[in-house]
Structure 1
Amino acid sequence: MTAFLTPGAAQAVSAESDQTFSATELRAAGDAVLDASEGGVAWSVDADRNTVTVLVDDTVSDAEIDGIRDRAGRLADALVFEHTPGTFQKYVQGGDAIYADLGWRCSAGFNVRSGSTFYFITAGHCTEDPYGPTPPYPLWSDGASQIGFTAASSFPVNDYGLVQYDPNPGSVPSTVNLYNGSSQTITGFANATNGQSACRSGSTTGLRCGSVTGLGYTVDYGGGDVVYDMIRTNICAEPGDSGGPLFSGATGLGLTSGGSGNCTSGGTTFFQPIVEAANAYGVTLP
């Protein structure tokens, strides 16, 4: 389950204000967007521009935009709206394909370890069990045989999950599939920076590259599925790419979460930062 946008396709539907807002006021304006949103909206406080950038997909009407403005009240002028074609969605289908026993496909993110136990991290909306608490379900296979079980899962709010290899292997590679017969070794994790060049790998569309176009985005996929502090990029993705790795050279940056668009017309994709996920689980690269 994932959501994407299209490179260069976002169209501004409101102009920036000349008014100056404090950091507290900008946070309050962002909170107003969350309170008013019913899905199809992503937003981030931009302190440099003194605005809150609000992306809206095709499901958001003019009346709903007016409702967001009304909820913001006197802070409405801090909101700069941009429209992006398509619909935010979560994709269920780190590069290599992984299959849930409950019927969907995602992509593995990064192999990690805690002591002598090996895991991989993927998207939390992939590891979430729709029928009840998780772990240990879903169970996961590589399409031929079972390879592990869900050890932990965090979605919404975050979008990361941990799958424990079962049986536990003697070792796992610290690499990402480049879908050209080769792989990229990952030697560390780091937080993304705005404007940074990056690539992502996924089991539907392979390797795709672009750049980081924003940080700290809150994304509302609808139905109460809101995630925070996401990386925004102009890299396309499609269903099944969820959970796959975002990386820059040998550095891991994030996990594919969602967005709008596709890899024919292009897209914007949001990623869960990997540093937060690895710290939450106390795991490191193999």
Structure 2
Amino acid sequence: MQPSAPLRRVATLAATALAVVAAVALSPHSAGASAGRPAKVMTPAAAGQLAKSLAPQLKGAAAGSYYDRTAKKLVVNVTTPEAAAKVRKAGAEPRKVQFDDSTLAATMTTLNASEPIPGTAWVPDPRVNKVVVTADPTVKGAKLARLTTVLKPLGEKVKLERTDSELKMFLSGGDPIYGSNVSSVRARCSLGFNVKRSGKPDAFLTAGHCGNPIRSWATSDSGEEIAVTTASSFPGNDYAIAEYVAGAPEHPSEVNLWNGDEQEITAARDAVLNEDVQRSGSTTGLKSGTVTGLNATVNFPEGQVRGLIQTNVCAEPGDSGGPLFSGSDAIGLTSGGTGNCTDGGTTYFQPVVEALTAYGATVG
């Protein structure tokens, strides 16, 4: 949305622009995938639901899953032939791997319990069956030595990658949602999703690192107040909610596509690894990419955030707080990352379902 446009055209993300993590070559080995029934063709949303229902049935023999965009099927990592048979029967494709969920979860716990090193991030990646650790160019000298000390005992369960740009958040001056004329902070972020709550004023979600400093919002720099931040969570999480005041512009459940059209948002769900997604931002407009990781931990200079969605969708300053979505489904809120929309990079998103649950809110 531009400052003069109605609020319904605002939708996007303020700032994080993305870690250029080297692409990982994948060579999945199916666990007897050629035997029995073939994997079902399904949408990413259906694949996500199937993955959730399968996990408890595999009784510790699961090791994550991801969506095969080309074949439109769910691939489920397993560690036993029995689990492979169950996966195949359910309509997904089994893939035999070394490390199970509990092993990778324990690895994440170890990393999360270590002293945070700004400029680092880690995420379990079922496609390589390891926890991928990313370090930006600021991780050198003593910081790199500390990271090496943490990673060495974890052995083959981790993989270290370097980025060529700094991991950071982007809270900057500009449009489309600003600190208002009564705000003490003149920064700019992006609106994520408009939401409703029973018995309370309509509201919108944005990033917590935006809601912490900006308590009053406008559609132009130092403009008239249109919303007030009522709750914000950062670090740890990265979400905030702002209630519209009387007389605010119309605010339907839509995302601005920056081509004269809007995408209606009717539901919210969790992201699915390897699915196609889009992000709308006030600085860079509409950008597309894929989900490259789930449950990521990111150590920003401002603090650590856990449980984030990792993507290869680019972003730049002014995009923070904006929406990540797939069709009419809301998925996330822009948090931060490295890179830019010229060279590419990695961007992290706060899962929107967690924010909606925290505030008792719904989209649509």
Residue 83 of structure 1: CA displacement? 1.0
- In the TM superposition, what whole-angstrom CA distance separates every residue of 1:80-127 from its partner, at most 9, and x where no partner exists? 00112200111113xx71102211000000000112520000000000
Does residue 200 of the first structure (1) align with residue 273 of the second (2)? no
Task: Please show how residues 84-233 of structure 1 align to structure 2 within 5 Å.
Answer: 84-93=163-172, 97-100=176-179, 101=183, 102-115=185-198, 117-129=201-213, 138-143=215-220, 144-167=223-246, 172-223=251-302, 225-233=303-311
Identify the range of structure 1 (118-127 vs 38-47) with the bigger mean alpha-carbon deviation: 38-47
Residue 50 of structure 1: CA displacement? 3.7
Does residue 3 of the first structure (1) align with residue 16 of the second (2)? yes
Q: SS in structure 2 opposite 1:146?
A: coil
In structure 2, the CA distance between the partners of 1:72 and 1:82, relative to structure 1 (3 Å rule), is: closer
Residue 62 of structure 1: CA displacement? 6.3
More strand by share: 1
Q: SS in structure 1 opposite 2:148?
A: helix
Task: Please show how residues 44-55 of structure 1 align to structure 2 within 5 Å.
Answer: 44-46=123-125, 49-55=128-134
- Alignment identity in percent? 43
Q: SS in structure 2 opposite 1:269?
A: strand
Residue 75 of structure 1: CA displacement? 2.0
Contact (CA 8 Å) 1:11, 1:83: kept in 2 or not? Answer: no
Contact (CA 8 Å) 2:253, 2:266: kept in 1 or not? Answer: yes
- In the TM superposition, what whole-angstrom CA distance separates every residue of 1:222-242 from its partner, at most 9, and x where no partner exists? 24x111111111111011100
Does residue 273 of the first structure (1) align with residue 357 of the second (2)? no
Contact (CA 8 Å) 2:117, 2:147: kept in 1 or not? Answer: no
**Equivalent-residue separation in structure 2 for 1:20 and 1:247 (angstroms):** 33
Q: SS in structure 2 opposite 1:70?
A: helix
Identify the range of structure 1 (202-211 vs 69-78) with the bigger mean alpha-carbon deviation: 69-78
Residue 140 of structure 1: CA displacement? 0.6
- In the TM superposition, what whole-angstrom CA distance separates every residue of 1:137-195 from its partner, at most 9, and x where no partner exists? 61111114210110100001100000000126696301001111111101110111011
Contact (CA 8 Å) 1:99, 1:140: kept in 2 or not? Answer: yes
**Equivalent-residue separation in structure 2 for 1:283 and 1:97 (angstroms):** 23
Paired position in structure 2 for 1:61 = 140
CA RMSD of aligned residues (A): 2.4
Q: SS in structure 1 opposite 2:196?
A: strand
Residue 28 of structure 1: CA displacement? 3.8
Number of residue pairs matched by the alignment = 269
Q: SS in structure 2 opposite 1:280?
A: helix
- In the TM superposition, what whole-angstrom CA distance separates every residue of 1:235-279 from its partner, at most 9, and x where no partner exists? 110111000000111111100100011111112110001011001
Residue 58 of structure 1: CA displacement? 1.1
Residue 74 of structure 1: CA displacement? 2.9
4+ long deviations beyond 4 Å: 19-25, 168-171
Q: SS in structure 2 opposite 1:90?
A: coil
Scaled by the length of structure 1, what TM-score is found? 0.86
Residue 221 of structure 1: CA displacement? 0.4
Q: SS in structure 1 opposite 2:147?
A: helix
Q: SS in structure 2 opposite 1:89?
A: coil
Contact (CA 8 Å) 1:199, 1:248: kept in 2 or not? Answer: yes
Contact (CA 8 Å) 2:19, 2:167: kept in 1 or not? Answer: no
Contact (CA 8 Å) 1:175, 1:184: kept in 2 or not? Answer: yes
Identify the range of structure 1 (162-171 vs 237-246) with the bigger mean alpha-carbon deviation: 162-171
**Equivalent-residue separation in structure 1 for 2:161 and 2:272 (angstroms):** 22
Contact (CA 8 Å) 2:116, 2:304: kept in 1 or not? Answer: no
Paired position in structure 2 for 1:39 = 118
**Equivalent-residue separation in structure 2 for 1:181 and 1:198 (angstroms):** 20
Paired position in structure 1 for 2:82 = none
- In the TM superposition, what whole-angstrom CA distance separates every residue of 1:55-79 from its partner, at most 9, and x where no partner exists? 1111112653442232345323322
**Equivalent-residue separation in structure 1 for 2:248 and 2:177 (angstroms):** 17
In structure 2, the CA distance between the partners of 1:22 and 1:251, relative to structure 1 (3 Å rule), is: closer
Identify the range of structure 1 (56-65 vs 76-85) with the bigger mean alpha-carbon deviation: 56-65
